Structure 1
Amino acid sequence: MSAIESVQSPTTKADWQALADAVIPSLETRAFIDDAFVDAVSGETLATLNPASGETLAQVASCDAADAELAVAAARSAHARGDWSRLAPAERKRVLLRLAELMEAHKNELALLDTLDMGKPVSSSLGDIEGAIGCLRYTAEGIDKVYGEVAPTGDDSLGLVLREPLGVVASIVPWNFPLMMTAWKIAPVLAAGNCVILKPSEKSPLSALRLAQLAKEAGLPRGVFQVLPGYGHTVGKALALSMEVDCLAFTGSTQVGKQLMQYAGQSNLKRVYLECGGKSPNLVFADCKNLDQVAQHAAAAIFHNQGEVCIAGSRLLVENSIREAFVDQVVEAAKAMQPGDPLDPASFMGAMVDETQYRSVLDYIAKGREEGARLRAGGKALEGPGYFIPPTIFDGVTPAMTIGREEIFGPVLSVFGFDGEEEAVQLANDSDYGLAAGLWSQDIDRIMRLSRKLQSGQVFVNNWAGPDMTVPFGGVKQSGNGRDKSLHSLAEYTELKTVWMALTP
């Protein structure tokens, strides 16, 4: 039995530390190109850090344009061979379900890697891994359930609409939910018969490299799945500019999303599916039942995952008749959501991903004070090693304030007051973003009216972020244009082909 296998079911901080001690020496840190783990062509590496301590976990291959060229060539060759793209759907399903089984068998290890890499609590990481496994299973089961079409014609013709794989897809994923976002971005790509080149964030590459080992074991053919760790401005840019990449799938900032669209235009007009930033409004009306429970949900909507969430409910809009008392309840709820050691299963929040993000959040907090918002909770970093910031709540925020408009990507809640539906909708929609919105009310007529008026790809009614794999995830406006999850995601990675046959009378 290996040292990793000896820690079977970690339940305590000591158990998780023991598993970390066993996992870290065996980390795979090389790129995965054409079915082999290799150093970057340049020999360069980058350090991936543990944000809870600031210590270096490993030196990981830092890929650039030369590595991208090799991976793209391998993917194009694999696609041309057809040992995945032309494989029977039932066989592709079998391989992906096998990969899901392997992920299940190694879920503690995978969760630990994400916790070590980006500082999130291990309990949260375990939930993410379950989500990643569920995504893979759901999407694999959908492979043979998305049909083509037969066009309505006369007796002299037969019109067919076929769905074919796009070819080579580059999936660029963020650091906040490393493996779950990876699953969302690769499962439909592979299910549709494409080859995928995964570019994990330079801040959290470890679980992606472990996934490559499992993908090979599951039986994915050579060149079909590859992993290129490295920086966005080097290997990410090279993939985006490649004339041989047919599609970019990206989750990350709006600024980078715009750059990727420019790169697509400068190269081969490749498809670009973007899931970008958010500044999501969470509307609470006075007619809500159980306001203490709603306050718990409102706090969790922003403080989960240290606020490093694209759909974080970072703008809390509360009807003025209940605002003061409700904010008191949110402040009270936040007291139980303080950051702690990410390896402690009892911790609700962990560390910010790195010093850059940590400093950025603290700068926003300072800006909130300067611009006149009322600080109700938090506001100061924790002392000691690591990048820890407690739940921070500002009341009396206005749309003119920086913290009320810009995506902070940290545990900072901005509270606005409103009087009536019209003002609530105006405040909610006064944003460049449109990824998610929450609506808390017992009035079904109001719910139906406002669900249509809110400019958002998703509206959560009397919940926050509750949907499962059966519905699409994505935004409008500058939150992007792609859709993850559901069978709709499969369609994005296929090409429609029309076949029109003239029939002999």
Structure 2
Amino acid sequence: MFEYAPAPESRSVVDIKPSYGLFVDGKFVDPVDGGSFKSINPASEEVLAEIAEAGNEDVDRAVRAARKAYQKVWGPMPGRDRAKYLFRIARIVQERSRELAVLESLDNGKPIKESRDVDVPLVAAHFFYYAGWADKLPHAGFGPNPQPLGVAAQVIPWNFPLLMLAWKIAPALAAGNTVVLKPAETTPLTALLFAEICQQADLPAGVVNIVTGAGETGRALVEHPGVDKVAFTGSTDVGKAIARAVAGTRKKLTLELGGKAANIVFDDAPVDQAVEGIVNGIFFNQGHVCCAGSRLLVQESVADRVLESLKRRMAQLRVGDPLDKNTDIGAINSAAQLDRIRELSEAGAAEGAERWSPPCELPERGFWFAPTIFTGVTQAHRIAREEIFGPVLSVLTFRTPAEAVEKANNTPYGLSAGIWTDKGSRILWMADRLRAGVVWANTFNKFDPTSPFGGYKESGYGREGGRHGLEAYLNV
């Protein structure tokens, strides 16, 4: 293995303020009835900033600002003019891409090369893409005169803070809605920097509002009677609670929830390419990915060969400082998430699966977990059934394509799947039978703003991205 000299990205490109208020009606304001909390760097446990916590009155103020902007400015505005603002935001995201990437890695713990090369470019791409739709809504296939819903309440998770913001805000604004967004309490900083970008783009006041806080803030936003649409990405348990809260109201709802994706490797797959896809599928962003390929299904005849190659590749993964450009696996986002990963990993070992991790020196401070695989896993194991949301892979085997489909679909989730084979006909046969919203063929974790993303079963309903992503924000 090569020894790499440290190649740290400079923190000096980011100006983190000691404290942040709420972004309401185009201005940063202090909370009326809320408190504050700290956002920390998961790689070092250093406090990055003090963040305002929105209470009920603060949420109400944000929703009223969004309603006023919707009625007076954004809703009546021609689509071509809305498009200009979205294009402007996209260009500013590109101009400030290095700043956004460094801040994302500091606040979230993901490697800088992922923030820089994946997250931020996709954020800009989503705003560019939906800017193009803003004046073409009558041609989107939703009738001759689709209308916006009004005020959208959007609650996003901590694993892709800025990208999830773009997935939610870009189509909502393109369709003519205004937004109140609540970022995750452990990763609010890039959303607050995005608020500054909205100011820089001269976005009309109240079109985008950002209220920070934890679960109670999210509950207040979701249950607010002035909201017309709720969009949530996060855990299945919280998604169920939101569905219950919204039931019986006029609010529209889309949910993108948990996953337990199967990554299926056949005996004719190119092994080295498949191994790269396996590694990308489960170790990208420390496994903090709802569509992570956390269940590896390998055809029995090549299982030993694939595992040998996989272990050799895992031994080359570099775990450490997220701001080092050579780092492959960064920090776990929070102490609570690290506890969850440890608990499920210990359950896997206790239930008889065989645990393996490469030799790996973890930093002393911060939240860290070595990349891990379990072999000898059965479908009854907790690690094969429950979403771990960490760098932990469960390996199962199969003999026939029919058995692979049966095992892949044996889950309450249905967000994604991957197929590795040399036969195009087999890919189509499998994809037709896999109950997953997204099926990747000879690749994994590939995203594009033109392509819809979403799940079945306990992975939620509705689609984000592509033309389909507009439907959730329009009266059709």
Alignment of 1:271-350 (within 5 A): 271-288=252-269, 290-350=270-330
Contact 2:104 2:190 survives alignment (8 Å): yes
Range 378-387 or range 241-250, more displaced: 378-387
Instruction: Compute the displacement of 1:19 (Å).
Output: 3.2
Contact 1:381 1:389 survives alignment (8 Å): no
Output the amino acid matched with 2:62. Answer: A
Scaled by the length of structure 2, what TM-score is found? Answer: 0.95
Instruction: Compute the displacement of 1:443 (Å).
Output: 1.9
2:123 maps to: 132
Alignment of 1:384-423 (within 5 A): 384-423=364-403
Once residues 359 and 319 of structure 1 are traced to their aligned partners in structure 2, the CA distance between those partners, rounded to angstroms, is 33
Structure 1's 95 and 414: CA in aligned 2 closer, same or farther, altered over 3 A?
same
Output the amino acid matched with 1:173. Answer: I
Once residues 185 and 259 of structure 1 are traced to their aligned partners in structure 2, the CA distance between those partners, rounded to angstroms, is 20
Once residues 312 and 14 of structure 1 are traced to their aligned partners in structure 2, the CA distance between those partners, rounded to angstroms, is 27
Alignment of 1:43-442 (within 5 A): 43-81=34-72, 83-126=73-116, 127-147=118-138, 161-232=144-215, 234-265=216-247, 268-288=249-269, 290-378=270-358, 382=362, 384-442=364-422
Once residues 13 and 65 of structure 1 are traced to their aligned partners in structure 2, the CA distance between those partners, rounded to angstroms, is 45
The structure number with the bigger radius of gyration is: 1
Contact 2:18 2:50 survives alignment (8 Å): no
Once residues 214 and 247 of structure 2 are traced to their aligned partners in structure 1, the CA distance between those partners, rounded to angstroms, is 21
Structure 1's 383 and 465: CA in aligned 2 closer, same or farther, altered over 3 A?
closer
Alignment of 1:462-501 (within 5 A): 462-496=442-476
Once residues 293 and 470 of structure 2 are traced to their aligned partners in structure 1, the CA distance between those partners, rounded to angstroms, is 28
SS of alignment partner, residue 332 of structure 1: helix
Instruction: Compute the displacement of 1:146 (Å).
Output: 2.8
Output the amino acid matched with 2:267. Answer: A
Once residues 144 and 43 of structure 1 are traced to their aligned partners in structure 2, the CA distance between those partners, rounded to angstroms, is 39
Q: Deviations over 1:49-92 (max 9, x none)?
A: 100011211110011211111111111111221x1111111110
Paired residue total: 471
The correspondence for 2:13, drawn from 16, 19, 22, is: 19
SS of alignment partner, residue 147 of structure 1: helix
Output the amino acid matched with 2:198. Answer: A
Structure 1's 32 and 133: CA in aligned 2 closer, same or farther, altered over 3 A?
same
Q: Provide structure 2 residue ranges, at least 5 long, that are not aligned to the other structure.
A: none
Once residues 438 and 105 of structure 1 are traced to their aligned partners in structure 2, the CA distance between those partners, rounded to angstroms, is 34
SS of alignment partner, residue 445 of structure 1: helix
Range 189-198 or range 329-338, more displaced: 329-338
Q: CA RMSD in A?
A: 1.9
Q: Deviations over 1:453-505 (max 9, x none)?
A: 00000110111122422210111111010211112111210113xxxxxxxxx
Instruction: Compute the displacement of 1:336 (Å).
Output: 2.1
Output the amino acid matched with 1:34. Answer: D
Scaled by the length of structure 1, what TM-score is found? Answer: 0.90
Contact 1:28 1:210 survives alignment (8 Å): no
**Aligned structure 1 segments of 4 or more residues deviating by more than 6 angstroms:** none
Instruction: Compute the displacement of 1:108 (Å).
Output: 1.1
Structure 1's 242 and 345: CA in aligned 2 closer, same or farther, altered over 3 A?
same
Output the amino acid matched with 1:94. Answer: K
Output the amino acid matched with 1:192. Answer: A
Once residues 262 and 43 of structure 1 are traced to their aligned partners in structure 2, the CA distance between those partners, rounded to angstroms, is 25
